[in-house]
């Protein structure tokens, strides 16, 4: 800050010079105790090094700012800022990037500036830190389960507050269990409920004769074939969905889940036109497929323990559930001529997971609208939905397909 010292004339009295120095010391001391809580405070700090209001300061001045106020920051956040100051190829730091980090806002340019080239943070990994509480160890575990980059793991570890909690996956699971228990009491059957003659009469089930009732394309997830179907689905969606929601938020994970559910029922209406649909497998398979694909694509960066063994177990569980669905589909029906529920919804969920889901999981704390792949897959998904809608409106009549009677 010496370059901003007020100039004094050679003939000025010592008292005037002493007064100027005292004023400067007072200004510096007031800067040192400036609270670091709001965006206005950050802007005030930044503007001290950017008197011309260009929106940028040199990396040297930025480092000086961090050295003076670093004790007020989370250690990992300070580490990320220092990495940005040391490695920024432009020699300048943007004010908006600085504020984004301090206010925990998503920023595409900020992380790219740090990760440009092969830059690495020099301090020890988050996994090596000791003396953590149980909740801190849980957050660290979730970070290593879901994020492939150390800088993202540290960012998440410092930023996560459990507010809001992972409510979406928990709420969906509770509603699914509640509906299953209700139907079990009504039908007096909990194993293979789907074989009960009155099962398809429920207004939540997707049935080809009732495809004009649009809510059925979504509400079928609250009906399951039996306790064996429900148990595996909720186990997978809690074990995979809750950690993903803790990292990426309810909006993004909820979008992948619902997109998989809708794609699943629409895929059945196109590819298995005479069959009903039940179960949340479309959404579950969307989440698991996205997570597994993200692990494979970032294999060296993912540090979760026993990842090969756990991937194998996940694939075995998915294969078992899919095999059960295929067997049930072609098993003699309990309500002929209508067949048992279709398995095609699983495949619709997988396709959503390896497209939209992967883009979301690979772009932690980045704006999806800045990703070209995001718009490409959104366009493909919308085209598929529109095609399926027109197919449901016109194809059934044009093909003169004989559908089973309504339940």
Cα separation, 189 vs 330, whole angstroms: 21
Q: What is the DSSP letter of 64?
A: H
Is 281 an active-site residue? yes
To the nearest 10°, the Cα dihedral for 367, 372, 377, 383? Answer: 110
Is 346 an active-site residue? yes
Strand partners, 57: 93
Residues 74/155, Cβ–Cβ less than 8 Å? no
Cα separation, 348 vs 380, whole angstroms: 13
Token pair in block for residue 110: 């900020």
- Which of 265, 281, 289, 342 is catalytic? The answer is 281
The count of residues in the chain is: 407
- Which of 76, 224, 229, 346 is catalytic? The answer is 346
Which residues lie below 8 Å from residue 2, measured CB to CB, with a gap of 6+? none
State the helix-helix crossing angle for 250-271 and 167-187, rounded to 10 degrees.
50
DSSP assignments along 67-108, one per residue: HHHGGGS-HHHHHHHHHHHHH-TTSEEEHHHHHHHHTT---H
CA dihedral (58, 64, 69, 74) positive or negative: positive
Catalytic residues: 281, 346
């Amino acid at each position: 800050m010496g370059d901003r010292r007020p100039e004094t004339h050679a003939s000025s009295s010592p008292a005037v010079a002493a007064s100027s120095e005292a004023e400067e010391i007072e200004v510096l001391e007031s800067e040192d105790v400036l609270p670091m809580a709001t965006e206005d405070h950050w802007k005030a700090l930044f503007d001290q090094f950017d008197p011309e209001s260009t929106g940028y300061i040199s990396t040297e001045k930025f480092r000086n700012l961090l050295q003076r106020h670093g004790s007020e920051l989370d250690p990992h956040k300070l580490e990320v800022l220092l990495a940005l100051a040391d490695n920024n190829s432009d020699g300048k730091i943007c004010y908006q990037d600085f504020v984004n980090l301090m206010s925990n806002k998503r920023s595409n340019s900020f992380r790219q500036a740090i990760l440009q080239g092969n830059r690495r943070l020099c301090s020890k990994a988050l996994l090596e830190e000791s003396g953590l509480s149980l909740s801190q160890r849980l957050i660290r575990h979730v970070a290593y389960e879901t994020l492939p980059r150390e800088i993202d793991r540290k960012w998440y570890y410092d930023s996560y507050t459990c507010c809001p909690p992972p409510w979406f996956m928990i709420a969906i699971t509770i509603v699914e269990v509640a509906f299953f228990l209700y139907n079990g009491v009504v039908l007096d059957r909990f194993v293979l409920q789907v074989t009960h003659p009155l099962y398809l009469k429920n207004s939540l089930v997707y049935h080809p004769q009732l495809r004009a009732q649009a809510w059925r394309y979504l509400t079928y997830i609250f009906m399951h074939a039996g306790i064996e179907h429900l148990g595996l689905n909720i186990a997978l969606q809690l074990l995979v969905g809750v950690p993903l929601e803790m990292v990426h938020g309810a909006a993004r994970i909820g979008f992948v889940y619902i997109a998989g559910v809708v794609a699943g029922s629409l895929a059945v209406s196109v590819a298995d036109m005479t069959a009903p649909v039940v179960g949340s497998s479309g959404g579950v398979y969307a989440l698991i497929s996205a997570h597994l694909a993200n692990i494979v694509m970032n294999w060296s960066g993912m540090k979760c323990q026993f990842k090969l063994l756990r991937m194998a177990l996940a694939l075995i569980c998915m294969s078992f559930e899919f095999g059960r669905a295929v067997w049930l589909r072609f098993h003699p029906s309990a309500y002929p001529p209508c067949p048992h529920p279709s398995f095609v919804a699983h495949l619709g969920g997988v396709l959503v997971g390896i497209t939209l889901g992967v883009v979301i999981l690979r772009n932690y704390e980045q704006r999806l609208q800045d990703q070209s792949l995001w718009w490409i897959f959104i366009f493909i998904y919308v085209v598929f939905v529109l095609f399926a809608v027109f197919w449901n409106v016109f194809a059934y009549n044009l093909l003169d397909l004989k559908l089973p009677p309504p339940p």
